[in-house]
Amino acid sequence: MNAPFVEVIDRAALQARVTELGREITISMVEDDPVVVGVLKGSVPFLTDLTRHLPLTIEIDFLNLTRFGREGRVSIAMDLSVSVEDRSVLIVEDIVDTGLTLATLRKMLFARGASSVSTVALLDKSTRRIVDVPVEHRGFEVGDEFLLGYGMDWQGRYRNVPSIWAVMDLSVLTSDPDAFGQHAFRQIDRSAG
Ligand code: IMP
Ligand code: MG
């Protein structure tokens, strides 16, 4: 039987690309003092690594959005705590899929008076896009497999896995949500302090 989980981006490749994205964003935002907006919860590992490669004056803030169904209605489950009026905003996303979440968020930030809005997405599933939305900085173009790790979850689990895996057989996870653990945590030595 083929493996149900395959590592598609390892830790070294992730760190190398995150460093490059940091350089790219630094060059484009050097005069901006941006508000870096992380979309909870998937962006957290990426945002913490990326911002350490931004030698800029930034503020970091978070919001949490809930999306309902395929028509793209999005509500704010947790809002920002700073004003974005007349500020440059950098949205940080783990992955852009249909684009519905990002399109709504961009509209919302412009409606609140942001002077510019750009997006860095670690991963882009561009073949699945429903709405055309700009992604100024992207880490990796990926296919339409379901991905896990480095922020991405299955029923809230596995966001803390340090590399990115593709789920080749979703039925393995639907029948046992814990099934990925033995693969995911193999590289982390549990006995080390
Ligand atoms: P969309 O672009 O509005 O369709 O939604 C993007 C969001 O869907 C991402 O921020 C993720 O939270 C989630 N998502 C999309 N693809 C995946 C995946 O392969 N694994 C885990 N979450 C995903
Ligand atoms: Mg997300």
d(CA 105, CA 107): 5
DSSP-based three-state secondary structure for 182: helix
Residues serving a catalytic function are 97
Residues with CB under 5 A from ligand 2 (ion): 42
**Atom 12 of ligand 1, nearest CA residue:** 42
Cα-only R_g, the chain:
17
pLDDT at 193 over 60: no
**Atom 22 of ligand 1, nearest CA residue:** 152
Candidates 41, 73, 94: which one to mutate for ligand 1, based on the most atoms within 8 Å of Cβ?
Answer: 94
pLDDT at 71: 74
For 14-65, give the DSSP string: HHHHHHHHHHHHHHHHTTT--EEEEEETTTHHHHHHHHTT--S--EEEEEEE
Distance 6 CA to ligand 2 centre (A): 21
Q: pLDDT tens digit string along 88-121?
A: 999 999 999 999 999 999 999 999 999 999 999 9
Q: pLDDT tens digit string along 5-21?
A: 999 999 999 999 999 99
Q: pLDDT tens digit string along 38-52?
A: 999 999 999 999 999
List the one residue out of 33, 83, 46, 94 whose CA is nearest residue 61. 83
Q: Among the atoms of ligand 1, which is closest to the Cα of residue 128?
A: 4
For 124-141, give the DSSP string: E-GGG-SS----SEEEEE
pLDDT at 68: 85
pLDDT band at residue 187 under the 50/70/90 scheme: low
Ligand 1, CB cutoff 6 Å, lining residues? 42, 67, 93-102, 146-147, 152
pLDDT at 73: 86
pLDDT at 1 over 70: no
pLDDT at 175 over 80: yes
Average pLDDT over residues 131-154: 97
pTM, 2 dp: 0.95
Q: Among the atoms of ligand 1, which is closest to the Cα of residue 101?
A: 3
Q: Among the atoms of ligand 1, which is closest to the Cα of residue 67?
A: 3
